[in-house]
Amino acid sequence: MTTLEEKLGYQFQNRELLENALTHSSCANESRGKLQSNERLEFLGDSILGMVVADHLYRGHPDLPEGELTRVRAALVCEESLVEVAQALDLGSYLLLGKGEEAGGGRTRPSIQADAVEAVLAAVYLDGGIGSARKIIQKYILCREIEGIASPRDYKTALQELVQRESGQVLKYRLVGSQGPDHAKRFFVDVDLNGEPVGSGEGHSKKEAEQMAAKAAMAKLSKK
């Protein structure tokens, strides 16, 4: 835990908050009530992250219209971005997982890593206030602001442009399922090309899941 605190640049007054942030529901369920999952902290962390990023972009870019601000914020707080943060922190090594989730590779599962980042941000906020949380967001997320502005991660548009190189190509996105409570629901989407599945994705919203499906499809089609 001390090493993780050093990477965060923050020392907890209440270590139990950090332990809670790293406790996956699978571990909490196996503990028979001794441990609480990080789902509530994840819910809070998602809002904190969105607010801090939105505030920063609003104040720092008075020239950007609402649509561009929304796009850049989405690029900075998406699952892919949060997984990069988790990897920088080596967060997977500190996660408390149930036996089944551990055996299934949960430490490297993108959704679990991204959720843990949000939970840790909430734990820092509760322990040290918004200023402490803001410093970590600045260090690990807002540092990618220029990348978000210059290189939008709009995989759906990129996929559309790729397949339109040949005439008569038809793309269709299909919602194939969802799971989890309302505050932490995950959506699963497949994308078909001319009726054949070419990519699958998941995310906290249908739009994010479609983007991830488009990204997977691009990777597959680019190899052909």
> Out of 79, 101, 115, 118, which one is annotated catalytic?
118
Name the strand (E) or helix (H) holding 119. helix 110-128
The rounded Cα 65 to chain-centroid distance in angstroms is 24
Instruction: Report how far residue 47's alpha carbon sits from residue 133's, in angstroms, rounded to the nearest whole number.
Output: 12
Four-point Cα dihedral 101, 106, 111, 117, nearest 10: 110
- Annotation says 46 is catalytic: yes
- Annotation says 118 is catalytic: yes
**Do residues 41 and 21 lie in contact, with contact meaning Cβ atoms separated by under 8 Å?**
yes
Bridge partners of residue 192, in order along the sequence: 172, 197
DSSP code of residue 224: -
> Out of 46, 101, 115, 127, which one is annotated catalytic?
46
Task: Tell me the catalytic residues.
Answer: 46, 118
